[in-house]
Chains A and B, each alone.
Chain A
């Protein structure tokens, strides 16, 4: 039997017996997590330490596994959206939109231009909040609390926009097949414009606090570096991969929701270390702001949802007054909608990488199989390799710079 199958503490006990330091000091086992305040989520890593240095690490995951793939096999399509919210809860609108787009690909629904642009805006807002949290928490982990407090209020501002669009804040359950559940109110655009005026000022200030900060640079440069080759082998996507110098972005490679209409660059780093990951996220926030401004400027007129009565819930007034609408309402809520037998894969650029949905349908009301390609789950397996030889305090910084979200990791 391979040693790797043993519980880590037994495996380490063997190594501790075999490895002796010349000065007589001993190796030790440290249990980092599962609920350590510095790990921002339920992550357990059992470490073999030589003093402050990490020799071996073994992550244990699954503490908040909620069997989303199993639940999804037993729920009609509309009831699966709330599950996607709870994966990467820092950017749930991206997950929602990705799920709708998967369904639209399956059902062949053509989404109006205006709805596509509104989706782009909300997805970029979600990306901003995702990167904002990741980068400001990285600051907190290196001892800089101020930046976090500066920018965190802007997440609140974005949540107010979400609230105006769909009524919810964190787990948004936003949208429908074919578009949005209601048109955006003037208030939503007003809040958005205020955000676009105020946020860049604060974000510039945030950047200035960190980018040339001696302490921050000392803590992050050459910490947790990964080569482009290794990153691709480990299935990295998103900012973590781009920090290593590979310009793969789903928005560019397979444009969805009219991303081809917008002009933006894909920022890349060089060394793939913690500092580069920080800088790539910073730069992406600027690109997101620019995309939102372009979308607002070019916003076409038209309906906010596709005309697909088979899948799009009718207006509530009509449900109470007309027979047709009542029938459609009932059929959609109960999942009695026509569904082709097919397999589709759709992916979107999530906050931390390529978020994919592989949907298999057999014509019944529920998916036959729904597989989520969760970017965190795939790249977190590189973590032991990245922290090997690093200091314990670096391990914390590397973890937060990788933007691993427990909800997505465990699904």
Chain B
């Protein structure tokens, strides 16, 4: 009983020991905050990766793909049907995306992915990342009559930061067509005045500096509101009559397409391909839903040939992962199969080069992967989990977390040395008291127990305070961030870099328990040597100590 009383009394009266408590507190709080933030980041990243990729990807090594997706799906169901929740076929090829901005052709390297709009939502969170609410419910490759989000739907901030999306869709398309029609008419009028013999126009932006026509206003390209200038006007070496993208003949229907009423095959590019954020935090768009783009991609033949076609943007895809948002472009799988020549003419069976598989909750993806690998030969097919696909990235994050934890634990270990030094000092200070206790019949182990108990008490108090502070910081980290940014005037957390609008945190009770346990063990361990010294003191010598 005396051990408890003396531990408690020393805890209350020995303020110097609180110095070691503070170091334990800071170490525990830091570890909790860092682990929670890292867990939040890791979880967000994994869920975004997992949202883009399905649980398993079954794919061919060849760009030409494999025929009869249905047969392959039946085989997959035959071996693992109990574990499969949904499947969808895809065709993915590298491609070049081309579009015009202010008369300049912009070319981007992309991954061109054909998806089945009916089944693709079964295997991932694709729908969640689209910018039109109706498309989020059910994807359509038809252009919408407005209604696109003017703010980031995945952010809590409803303030519109995408004003250009207000008219996206058919309104934008029709407006653009009308502007170009007006501009074309002006151009033709100038051309007719200057060249009555009906020569083709050879410049896109031509100001009339002819002194004979000085009163005619110089022509300027159409400029849209908010500076989003998209100009699908003709390239310099093309004539309007034959290369007007909006007057392309439709051989199937034998008539000229009216772009204000009709669209090309719909396409959904990643938002990173089409936009940028300015310094004021507003997203600016190079192209919008309703604009037309060209995509160049290889056919499925041997050797593959490059083909190009025009598509109409119907929505944007935003997963917050720059790797996907700046690379992926989605198109109806049937269109891509047709354009690439992946449909067998005699049978009509189309080839695909990947099957995405969604597993039921609780199913181990590695087990299903291994089972499928045994069925389908590795020379022809590749079966990977989503973790396998992103293995290096996830492994790097795990390594970072492990190294951080080791480094942070060393903070607590340093605190342990502080406890050791302070306890040693207290034992020296309490030498006579130890002699008194021994003269009253206290055993050596009992005296040691006082200091071990004191170390345990310090560890518990320090870890408890660290837990409270760590949780308080973690749960209010975004408010703290705002405060720090206001105080310092510096941006602490840039959403445009991390694609998060808030710092994500996840408090894992298991991790927190380990941190506290470790801190207490270090505190108790640090008090062992001083406790042994106290136990070994000779009572007579101790009583004589000043």
Chains A and B form a bound pair: no
